[in-house]
Amino acid sequence: MDFGKISERGLVLLGCGKMGSALLQGWLAGGLSPDAVYVIDPNPSDWVLAQAVHVNQPLPENPAVVLVAVKPQMMGGALPQLQSYGGGNTLFVSVAAGTLIASYEAVLGAATPIVRTMPNTPAAVGRGITAICGNAHTTAAHLDTTQALMSAVGQVVRLDGEHQMDAVTAVSGSGPAYVFHLIEALAAAGHAQGLAPDLAMQLARATVCGAGELAYQASETAAQLRINVTSPGGTTAAALEVLMDAETGFPPLLRRAVQAAADRGRELGK
């Protein structure tokens, strides 16, 4: 990973909870010098303190990047302390859910390059996916830098604009919770068929995790993978007849769920 100007000018990480720590771990593993990182966090973990980064120490005069990883409700008190970096020379990258680019511009100035990102919780194990988009003052180089930083925790995709962020949040941001609930529901269904609860959960969890890994590694589409395990007239076909029902199955259910999440995101962004 080529950190370029970050190594020379430094990176300020505002907030080092689960997401911030996952990113920091990836950057350090990718070759970023701990001496180039400045962490601002009121309650840094023992792990962070052991990384030889600057923790709650004087900040660099002109950092290349400020990455904001605090919770949205903490933004009002945390961001103003970095207001002096606004204006164009420092790139601001946000991983705060639901915080609009306009909210940053109001504090930092409209001329500040700002990239909004939406990672998801599998970033904690290096298997996340992050969507990114920038304001009018971000350049191709700014987006490249952001992609390099967020690649530390998984895949990165670029959006056409911030208007797509609510849909991304509804699909990949909230999506892990849908999968976790699928595991719960599948285990409960197995228990209803006579399996012990612990065994049903072990089977459901391993099946969902294994299928996810197969989908990740396989070159076939998800549809083809489904076809591969479905024998005509067999048990899987019988189950899919229920799950793929146009009125009561997965497709309409997930459309409603994703729509509800996207609508709520738009409400929170107002």
Binding site for NADPH: what residues are annotated? Answer: 56
Q: Binding site: residue ranges?
A: 14-19, 56, 69-72
User: At residue 167, what are phi and psi to the nearest 5 degrees?
Assistant: -65, -40
Q: Binding site for NADP(+): residue ranges?
A: 14-19, 69-72
